């Protein structure tokens, strides 16, 4: 279930825009992708740990089953290119 981690880099031009209170759609798209990636990494780490401790979930489905059936909110997450 674990995938390699991704390193995100905020280009200097984007940082300068944000620090001045600006930020065009490309900057916001980059921030959105980075935030979404972080959330998915956290969910994946939780499910990996839950998979190692089968009694951790009690009556809930296994971590593998939960990952295979993401919550409706995760399925409906829109990518930034569709939002902007």
| Residues 1 and 52: beta-carbon distance below 8 Å | no
Is the confidence at residue 84, as pLDDT, over 50? no
- Tell me the pTM: 0.48
Q: What is the pLDDT of residue 1?
A: 43
For residue 54, the 8-state DSSP code is G
- Write the pLDDT tens digit of every residue in 21-79: 998 999 998 888 888 888 888 888 888 887 788 777 677 777 778 777 766 666 555 44
Is the confidence at residue 13, as pLDDT, over 90? yes
Question: Taking Cα atoms as reference points, which of 54, 46, 53 lies closest to residue 70?
Answer: 46
Regarding predicted confidence, which is higher, 51 or 20? 20
Q: What is the pLDDT of residue 53?
A: 81
């Amino acid at each position: 279930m674990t995938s390699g981690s991704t390193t995100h880099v905020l280009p200097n031009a984007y940082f300068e825009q944000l620090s001045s209170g600006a930020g065009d759609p490309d900057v916001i798209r980059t921030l959105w992708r980075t935030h979404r990636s972080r959330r998915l990494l956290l969910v994946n780490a939780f499910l990996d740990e839950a998979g190692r401790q089968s009694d951790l979930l009690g009556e809930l489905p296994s971590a593998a089953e939960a990952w295979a059936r993401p919550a409706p909110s995760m399925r409906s997450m829109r990518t930034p290119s569709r939002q902007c």
